Structure 1
Amino acid sequence: MNILIVQRDREIQKYLKKGLKELGYTVEICSDRDDAYYHIKSDNYNLAILDIDIENGNGIELCSEIREINKKIGIIFLSSENDIEKKVQSLDSGADDYITKPFSFIELAGRIRAILRRCKGNINKTENNLTIKNLKLDLLTREAKRGDREIELTYREFALLEYLIRNKNLVLSRTMIREKIWNMNYTANTNIVDVYMTHLRNKIDKGEEEKIIYTVRGVGYILKG
């Protein structure tokens, strides 16, 4: 999922980018109206985090412009402006939510997930869900379920499972997995793949009659479905 951050405070920019990337989102940053407008016109974003006070423009006006370009994008204002009138203007301009600084990142992350869930009905579900047998990955909310059982996955575990599902019934070597998930494009003396696969298999297959993740001795792993 792609998120655009439009904030003029460089520390806030770095803080948001780091936190959101750790949650698995793809993040772009800009601080002024023109750059933000260019990004929205050029790329497909699922959500934008705006401030009222931005360089070379006004965040509320930018919100209206973004909404004209993309009716489906989620928009959150993250601003130090605590004036009720400003909040109402922001929401009337097309924003889905308004959070006042200082803020809790956990709360922001929760509101992002909520907005993306609401926007989900406007997006082609086949592009955002991966299903194999009774295992389902929601790429929009980054949630995993096997049957009715919800599965908590770390960012790396989610990426690993997505990679396995997209390559179902194919043997993936440890080298392939290291290169894809950890960007280790060399022969690394590490058992990181085996460690993560053990954790992942315990979460996915434990207690299930039908196992779907298998070890291929001396090579790597395969997800059968």
Structure 2
Amino acid sequence: MSRHILIASKDKRIGELAKEAVQSLDYNVVVAADLSLALYLTNKNMPDLVVTDEDLINGSGFDLLSELGTDDELGVIPILFIGKNGSDGQRALDLGAKKVIANPKTIDELFLELMPHLKLDEKAPKQRPEYSPE
């Protein structure tokens, strides 16, 4: 079974952090910088989790929350919102975000925020494996 996470952000660093954070957990991470693409990919892939921030091309993370929240099928997908300040966070929660997280600086920070929201097999690691170059 393929599992998906959608990262909706213009910030390429967020997508790179997410891919690195969950690479060992058998999740496919897809990144969309554009609101229209994020909505298309959500409809197509029905991801297990969406992570967004405010900055999207042709829209915002708030628009994404609004659109997904009004759809009966897509509205059940948990959405984590990466907030830059308190008012962004409250607005995101009001629009249906499951959780607001501070802008992660490291892979470990993002991993810790994502873990409680991922569907994991019993054998999956409870902490991010250490990087070991081959």
2:122 equivalent in structure 1: 143
Q: In 2, Cα distance between the equivalents of 1:4 and 1:42?
A: 11
* SS in structure 1 of the partner of residue 101 of structure 2: strand
Give the conservation status (yes or no) of the 8 Å contact 1:96–1:115: no
The CA deviation at 1:33 is 0.4
TM-score by length of 2: 0.78
1:109 equivalent in structure 2: 111
Query: Can you list the C-alpha shifts for 1:135-166, whole angstroms capped at 9, x where unaligned?
Result: xxxxx22323xxxxxx85899xxxxxxxxxxx
Tell me: CA distance 1:14–1:35, structure 2 relative to 1, closer, same or farther (3 Å): same
2:94 equivalent in structure 1: 92
Superposed, 1:1-225 pairs within 5 Å as: 1-69=3-71, 70-79=74-83, 81-82=84-85, 84-116=86-118, 140-144=119-123
- Code of the residue aligned with 1:100 in structure 2: it is A
Give the conservation status (yes or no) of the 8 Å contact 2:8–2:53: yes
Tell me: CA distance 1:111–1:14, structure 2 relative to 1, closer, same or farther (3 Å): closer
* SS in structure 2 of the partner of residue 71 of structure 1: helix
Counting matched residue pairs gives 124
- Larger RCO: 1 or 2 (CA < 8 Å, sep 6+): 2
Tell me: CA distance 1:103–1:68, structure 2 relative to 1, closer, same or farther (3 Å): farther
Query: Which consecutive unaligned segments of at least 5 residues does structure 2 have?
Result: 129-134
TM-score by length of 1: 0.49
- Code of the residue aligned with 1:40 in structure 2: it is T
Identity of aligned residues (%): 28
* SS in structure 1 of the partner of residue 46 of structure 2: coil
1:209 equivalent in structure 2: none
Q: In angstroms, what is the RMSD of aligned CA positions? A: 2.4
Give the conservation status (yes or no) of the 8 Å contact 1:5–1:28: yes
Give the conservation status (yes or no) of the 8 Å contact 1:51–1:78: yes
Tell me: CA distance 1:18–1:105, structure 2 relative to 1, closer, same or farther (3 Å): closer
* SS in structure 1 of the partner of residue 76 of structure 2: coil
The CA deviation at 1:71 is 2.5
Query: Can you list the C-alpha shifts for 1:83-116, whole angstroms capped at 9, x where unaligned?
Result: x221110011110111122444334323323234
Q: In 1, Cα distance between the equivalents of 2:23 and 2:68?
A: 23
